[in-house]
Amino acid sequence: MFQHMAWADTRTLSSLREMREAPSQALDLMAHVLTAEHIWLRRITGGMTAYRVFQSLALDECDQLATRNHAGFADVLASDDRARVVSYTTSAGHAQQTLLDDILVHVSHHGMYHRGQVALLVRAAGGSPVPTDFILFARDTLWSKS
């Protein structure tokens, strides 16, 4: 799921970069995907967050944050017990506990949902959204190595 997330984030950011002028709402949604990934990563690792959940970012900032997020989640997946319970504070200030595995599924699915919205906005603005379906990722990266 997280290899797909990194692949799809990168492709979506590339589609925005290829436009003469990316729709601001599409860029804001992609920034939201990445800041939410960052916030969840910090909740998992116990670090302080550097972003708000709805924070505007430039494309270069999105690229940099995506790279850091992807590396951080790779570290979590390589070393963490996905059956552990993560204690954190929600954006609304409420204490919460959630199974790490459930958080990981949420983060992956959250990005899928919003990347679809970004694709719709790119198409509406006359651009060509790139497909980010999992099956394409599997064909391009997983099956091509067989």
Query: Do the domain assignments include residue 28?
Result: yes
Query: Do the domain assignments include residue 92?
Result: yes
**Strand residues in the chain grouped as ranges (E):** 85-89, 95-99
For tokens 């990316």, name the residue: 22
Domain count, the chain: 1
For tokens 């067989």, name the residue: 146
Query: Do the domain assignments include residue 145?
Result: no
Torsion of the alpha carbons at 123, 120, 18 and 109, rounded to the nearest 10: -160
Query: Do the domain assignments include residue 20?
Result: yes
User: Are residues 117 and 98 in contact, defined by beta-carbon separation less than 8 angstroms?
Assistant: no
User: Are residues 35 and 54 in contact, defined by beta-carbon separation less than 8 angstroms?
Assistant: yes
pLDDT at 104: 95
pLDDT at 6: 94
pLDDT at 79: 82
DSSP conformational letter for 92 = T
User: Are residues 28 and 114 in contact, defined by beta-carbon separation less than 8 angstroms?
Assistant: no
Q: CATH number of the domain that 104 lies in?
A: 1.20.120.450
Query: Do the domain assignments include residue 27?
Result: yes
Q: Which two tokens stand for residue 92?
A: 């609304």
Query: Do the domain assignments include residue 103?
Result: yes
Q: Which domain holds residue 44?
A: 2-137
pLDDT at 146: 54
Residues 123 and 99: their CA atoms lie apart, in Å, by 37
pLDDT tens digit at each of 146 positions of the chain:
899 999 999 999 999 998 888 889 999 999 999 999 999 999 999 988 889 989 999 999 999 999 999 999 999 999 868 889 999 998 888 999 999 999 999 999 999 999 999 999 999 998 888 999 999 999 888 776 65
For tokens 């996905």, name the residue: 82
